[in-house]
Chains A and B, each alone.
Chain A
């Protein structure tokens, strides 16, 4: 009873799969959503998700057609609103099926969902890192320095990332910036907790989502994506450490 050609469905599914993987969904969620989309068009796809791309085979037994398409996941960012919107759309069309061109329009709309504006992200992450320092037990002035350091480092990271540098290099440089600014807490002599300014101001660079997704993927048995994400997370953590060491050596402050 499928009326939509297998090729169109496969193209749509690859689009959605790449979008989900790019926005930081774990593999189980990607596959579950894709199957729900395919079911509403009357197909049952075979899906293979790897770290660098998504492969989908859609078979049409009636017309003896089958299509296999591959979509490349270029970068792994985090955009949870996209994940939420796709999940919602998949339920919506499961309840009342609609035409494939309508779904495609919706996906285009979801793809264009913006991030929060920079003038909001930068101060909020600054405050967030300051609050993390405060949770770890820092005095208020130290938390203030942490706020400034994190906001500056995030600004540097956004500048470099839009310049198209290697992701690991971007993390390293912004970690160095954060710890250089954070070391001023020690230089100003803000008390015994001043080392926390360096430790907390780089926390927004910690690859939390890749590492947590890696564990979730491995729990669910998707070893290839799990290993890929874990390796990426560990590389980011190491370049973060390298950047911090650079900053601390430049400023010559003693560790915590």
Chain B
């Protein structure tokens, strides 16, 4: 898919960074230790999809939407594999795609607008564009994370796919009187 090796290198930097971000936020959100690597990989995968779609000429909102949905789908597979809820994987994995810079620019634009105090159309357009980008990107991420929920209609993934048993790694111990 990627013929140019320099473009591959361009993608590599953000992908590795996204894995670091997902691992960091996974630790902040106290994900189980055994799923931490999978969470980081999923975060890297999400940003890879997004960057590749942007490279194909998609807009940032479209590509984020598709990437977030991919994260949601793969979180279902991982949740089946690791016997953990989908959110354990999908929530830290969408964090690298959070529109932080757009939000910052919106806020700074509003501050500048207050300071100028007159109708500056250029500034208004920037505030509106950045603000709408922030809102829609956030909505895309939320839809992506809740995709398993929407697809399974409130059932758990186990009742749809699996007749597997949980690994008996630990027996329920009797109460110490």
Give chain B nearest CB distance to A142 CB in angstroms: 13
Say yes or no: B104 contacts A131, CB within 8 Å. no
Report chain A residues within 8 Å CB of B166.
88, 91-92, 95
- Asked if B21 lies at the interface with its beta carbon under 8 angstroms from chain A, I say yes
Contact (A78, B29) CB under 8 Å given A104-B175, A124-B24, A131-B24: yes
**Residues of A contacting B107 with CB < 8 Å?**
241, 244-245
**Stretch touching chain B among A1-9, A45-53, A113-121:** A113-121
B30 close to A80 (CB less than 8 A): yes
**Interface check A87, CB cutoff 8 A:** yes
Q: Which of A32, A124, A129, A255 contacts B27 (CB 8 A)?
A: A124
- Chain B stretch 37-95: residues in CB contact (< 8 A) with chain A: 47, 83-85, 87-88, 91, 94-95
Residue of B23, B91, B142, B156 touching A124 (CB-CB under 8 A)? B23
Q: For the complex, count residues of B whose C-beta is within 8 A of A.
A: 56
Cα distance A132–B127 in the bound complex, in angstroms: 22
Say if the beta carbon of A103 comes within 8 Å of chain B. yes
Q: In the bound complex, do residue B32 and residue A81 qualify as a contact, i.e. CB atoms below 8 Å apart?
A: yes
Q: Which single member of B14, B30, B32 contacts A115 (CB below 8 Å)?
A: B30
Of A82, A105, A206, the contact of B175 (CB 8 Å cutoff): A105
B131 interface hit (Cβ, 8 Å): no
Q: Closest CB-CB distance, A239 to chain B, in whole Å?
A: 13
Candidates A92, A126, A200; contact of B100 at CB < 8 Å: A200
- Tell me if B116 is interfacial: C-beta within 8 Å of chain A: no
Q: Does A38 contact B (CB under 8 A)?
A: no
**How many angstroms between the C-alpha atoms of A73 and B150 in the bound complex?**
26
Chain A residues whose C-beta falls within 8 Å of the C-beta of B142 in the assembled complex = 211-212, 215-216
Question: Is A102 a contact of B14 with CB atoms below 8 Å?
Answer: no
List the interface of chain B (C-beta within 8 A of A).
Answer: 13-14, 17-18, 20-21, 23-32, 35, 47, 83-85, 87-88, 91, 94-96, 98, 100-101, 103-105, 107-108, 111-112, 138-139, 141-143, 145-146, 149-150, 154, 156, 158, 165-166, 172-176
Residues of A bordering B, CB below 8 Å: 24-26, 28-29, 32, 78-85, 87-89, 91-93, 95, 98, 101-106, 113, 115-116, 120-121, 124-129, 131-132, 134-136, 195-196, 198-200, 203-204, 206, 208-209, 211-212, 215-216, 219-220, 241, 244-245, 255-256
